[in-house]
Structure formats: structure tokens, C-alpha cells
Amino acid sequence: MVSKSSESRPSEHGWPVWLNTAKTVVAAVLLALGVRTALAEPFHVPSGSMEPTLLIGDYLFASKFAYGYSRYSLPFGFASFSGRILDNPPARGDIVIFKLPRDPRETYVKRVIGLPGDHVQVAGGVLIINDQPVAVRRIADFVDDTTGGTRIPQFIETLPGGLEHHILHEMRLGDLDNTPVFQVPPGHYFMMGDNRSNSLDSRVPATEGGVGFVPEDNLIGRADLRYFSVDLDTDWTDPAAWPRALRLDRLGLIG
């Protein structure tokens, strides 16, 4: 007598075991894609342009439902799909993950500073929105541990509408601190990094290798939650340093 193999033996529901396994795998994949499509998608921070709010080694979830959906917020992309479904515009001050307009293969994270129709300028290092200077107040320096403890001037900026957030700003009075007046086109946004002296953002036009204005279609989602953070400068050859590499105090909602 020859017994049936496990691959062909019926399960308790009458299906072969391999088919039940395949159904489970397919269901898990579809569930993961559904969550990634409709709810949130993970990203990591590779640069210091959003310091001190986001540090290199922070891992984020972007809430896709916050702004609705475009071909850039759906997995694998949909070349024939344009516009947004369930569109909900971002608010000034939101931290947004988006596709770089001049090269959609690249993903950036910045803060929304200018809304459609706004006039935005930086003059003498002062951010001006719709002819009104944005209020800032000096606080304790930010200490950059990745550069041996370099101290960087830190401020709290209050955007129109009252949102407060931290920025870093070393007054250099170069091109980033003295810009022309930008008028944000309809359906576009003006993005800036919180590290004002070290951020390639909408202050630099796309034609000059910068970000320029960001079309609403390029928005992927709002950075809402930091679920993991690790100091990437850790000496990974020393196991004793591994626990110190975890920045557990940074986990939680992003302000």
C-alpha cells in the first residue's frame, strides 16, 4: 500500500494541504498590500535635512489616508492614473513624504510651508509668508552627536495658524537665506526642511537641481508616527554598544 503524500492529502475542509497553504499566503500578501495601499507605508530618514524633528535613522509610518491617493501613493505605480482620489489637502506645517518632482524615483520628506497661492520668501534669514515675517524665538542649542558634539543654533518657529515646531538655523546669508519671492501655483506646495541651513528644498528651483514647487499628485502621505529609531553611527562590531544605539525615547507621534 502506498500512502498519499502531504502535498496531495486532503485537509479537514476537503482542500489539498498545499492549496490551503497557497490560499493563506495569497491572503496574507493581499492584506499587506491593502494596508500599504490604503493606510500607511514605512519610510526611513537618510539625511539630516529635517533635524531636529527627524534624525538620520528614524523610521516612520506615512499616513496615506490623510491626503487621499494618487499614483505615487499606490504600490508599484499606475502610469495611466492621474489626479487624487478622496483628496484632502495638507495643512501648513504638516510633515509630508513626497516624490521628487524632477525625479519621481526619489522620495523626500519636508514640512509644508507654503500653500497654493501663498507668497513665500526668505530675506536676511527671515522666513516671510504673505508679506508677514514668521515669528521665531531662540532656545538651547541643538547638539549634533554625529559630528562630535557640534552645537547648532535652535529656534521655535510659529507658522501662520499657530503651529510651533523646532528649526535649526545657522545664519549664513547665502542663497538659502536670501531668495526671490515665490508664488505657489495652484495645486502645488512649497516645502522646507527644519534644518534650514542644510536642506535642499523648494527654495532651490527644480531647474537648478532642487525641489521646486511640489505638485499635489506627488504627495504620498503625512509623517505621523515614528516606530523605530537607531543611531546609525554606532560601532556595530561592539555588541555592548547595541543597546545604546536604540533611541527608544524618540518613538511615538511626530510633532
CA distance 63 to 61: 6
Q: Which helix (H) or strand (E) element contains residue 135?
A: strand 135-144
Task: Please say if 64 is a catalytic residue.
Answer: no
Grid cell of 102 as nine digits: 524632477
Sequence-distant (6+) residues with CB within 8 A of 105 are: none
CA distance 138 to 129: 20
Whether 104 is in a domain gets the answer yes
Catalytic residue (one of 110, 197, 199, 229)? 110
From the CA atom positions of the chain, what is the Rg in Å?
A: 23
**pTM > 0.75:** yes
Sequence-distant (6+) residues with CB within 8 A of 11 are: 17, 20
Grid cell of 196 as nine digits: 534650514
Task: Please say if 110 is a catalytic residue.
Answer: yes
Whether 200 is in a domain gets the answer yes
Q: What is the DSSP letter of 19?
A: H
Whether 138 is in a domain gets the answer no
Reduced to 3 states, what is the DSSP secondary structure of residue 128?
A: strand
For the chain, what is the domain count? 1
Whether 145 is in a domain gets the answer no
What is the sign of the dihedral through the CA atoms of 43, 46, 119 and 103? Answer: negative
What pLDDT does 81 receive? Answer: 67
pLDDT digit of tens for each residue in the chain (255 aa)? 334 344 444 444 555 555 444 434 443 333 344 444 456 789 999 999 999 999 999 999 999 889 988 888 776 555 566 778 888 899 999 999 999 999 999 999 999 999 999 999 999 999 999 999 999 999 999 998 777 778 999 999 999 999 999 999 998 878 999 999 999 999 999 999 999 999 999 999 999 999 999 999 999 999 999 999 999 888 778 877 878 888 989 999 887
Largest CA distance in the chain: 90
Catalytic residue (one of 49, 73, 197, 229)? 49
Per-position b or e across 98-112, b if 16+ CB within 10 A of its CB: bbbbeeeeebbbbbb
Give me the CATH number covering residue 249.
Answer: 2.10.109.10
What pLDDT does 39 receive? Answer: 61
What pLDDT does 65 receive? Answer: 85
Whether 154 is in a domain gets the answer no
Structural domain containing residue 189: 17-118+184-253
What pLDDT does 219 receive? Answer: 95
Whether 159 is in a domain gets the answer no
- Grid cell 495569497 is found at 26
- Grid cell 504600490 is found at 75
**Do 138 and 228 meet the contact criterion of CB atoms below 8 Å apart?**
no
Whether 135 is in a domain gets the answer no
What pLDDT does 171 receive? Answer: 84
In the chain, the amino acid numbered 69 is: Y
